[in-house]
Amino acid sequence: MKKILIITAALLIILTGCNGEGDEPEIEMPEITEEGSKITGVNILPEKVLAGSGEKIEFKVEALLDDDTKIDITSEMNFRSDTDKIKFEGNKALVGEETITGQEHVVIAEYTGEEDVNIDLYATIEIFNSLEDTIDENDVITNPEAYDMVVNKQRNLNADYVPEDLVDLEVETCLPNPEINQLRKEASDAITKMFKTAAEEEGLELVARSGYRSYNTQDSLYNSIVNNHGQDYADKYSAYPGQSEHQSGLALDITAASVNYQLEDIFGETEEGKWTKDNAHRFGFIIRYPEGKEDITGYLYEPWHLRYVGKNLAAKIYREDTTLEEYFQNKER
């Protein structure tokens, strides 16, 4: 008689006895359990876990018996993941360095013992790269290439940091400076899809105004604002060199003809601005400096400032109606 034990992704246990006579479902595993004992369930531990890039997670599988005892059957299981970004050594998962906060990867544990039993268990590794682990003693960001990197007034990019995969934007731009008409490749591809979708779905024409800025460009811009308007004004409306997202190559200011291709708060009330707010996450972007969050982000409302963080993280931030800082802070608790 063949016995089958199936565990779904939600760990719902279905026990099916297959002898064609409609017997009550039960499973006997005499080589694993004590004589007369029956399995009532199987658990994988942990079922869901937060893990950062480079971290190692150990998984365990327990069989639950009808006498309320448990036995460890980890050695009878083969572990694998749904992505090559997570490698397994036995029951230990090694999270790759290129994983991004917000991604969720499935761990599959399959029974490989001698019994005629099919056991499939599923667990989830949610990637979370703690802010504390991505900054050095000088407040310099240590993972500048990561799409989940956080730069703000407390977290600085090195003055000599330049993204290695900058490409020219393939969308309409409104300023001639070739430097600012660049983004990192993945962000550039995403903005191209976003602008095309806006045009196709709503007939809206979005325009790129300012993308990548080098440390030196930001330094010149910041000091020009200080000289013309004073330090306090500059700190409200511009980033100190090394603290600008534009240096990451993942940030882009967008505009439209409806605001005369300028960067103004009123953009958020235009059809283009409303569509952007409701749809940017579909392409991996967030409104980095939302209204009412100035005390958290350190900057005034900027409905035009988009930041690429990848689709998973962007969707989470959008659903939670939060900021990049708050997302990490909430996960830290």
> Does the pLDDT at position 239 exceed 60?
yes
> Does the pLDDT at position 22 exceed 50?
no
170 DSSP 8-state letter = -
End-to-end CA distance of the chain: 50
In this structure, are residues 283 and 249 in contact, taking their beta carbons and an 8 Å threshold? Answer: no
CA dihedral (177, 290, 269, 234) positive or negative: negative
State the residue for tokens 């906060």: 101
H/E/C letters for each residue in 25-40?
CCCCCCCCCCCCCCEE
In this structure, are residues 56 and 91 in contact, taking their beta carbons and an 8 Å threshold? Answer: no
| pLDDT tens figures, 198-233 | 999 999 999 999 999 999 999 999 999 999 999 988
Mean pLDDT, all residues of the chain: 89
CATH code linked to domain 131-332: 3.30.1380.10
> Does the pLDDT at position 44 exceed 80?
yes
* Exposure string over 180-219, b if 16+ CB within 10 A, otherwise e: bbbbbebbbbbbbebbebbeeeeebebbbbbbbbbbebbb
Residue 46, burial from CB neighbour count under 10 angstroms (0-12, 13-18, 19+)? middle
In this structure, are residues 90 and 77 in contact, taking their beta carbons and an 8 Å threshold? Answer: no
| pLDDT tens figures, 127-162 | 999 999 999 999 999 999 999 999 999 999 999 999
> So what's the pLDDT on residue 8?
32
> So what's the pLDDT on residue 9?
32
Residues 269 and 275: their CA atoms lie apart, in Å, by 10
Summarize the confidence of residues 321-326 as an average pLDDT. Answer: 97
| pLDDT tens figures, 269-318 | 999 999 999 999 999 999 999 999 999 999 999 999 999 999 999 999 99
In this structure, are residues 262 and 255 in contact, taking their beta carbons and an 8 Å threshold? Answer: yes
| Confidence category of residue 67, pLDDT binned at 50, 70, 90 | confident
| pLDDT tens figures, 79-128 | 999 999 999 999 999 999 889 999 999 999 999 987 777 889 999 999 99
| pLDDT tens figures, 160-205 | 999 999 999 999 999 999 999 999 999 999 999 999 999 999 999 9
Domain boundaries along the sequence of the chain: 2-127, 131-332
> So what's the pLDDT on residue 3?
30
Query: Which of 9, 105, 102, 11 lies closest to 57 in space, CA to CA?
Result: 105
> So what's the pLDDT on residue 148?
96
> So what's the pLDDT on residue 18?
36
> So what's the pLDDT on residue 93?
98
Question: 185-189, long-range: CB within 8 Å, 24+ apart, which pairs?
Answer: 186/147, 186/284, 186/308, 187/249, 187/250, 187/252, 187/284, 187/308
> Does the pLDDT at position 333 exceed 80?
no
Find out if CATH 2.60.40 is the number for domain 2-127. Answer: yes
Strands 48-51 vs 120-127: parallel, antiparallel or unpaired: parallel
Instruction: Tell me if domain 2-127 and domain 131-332 are identical in fold.
Output: no
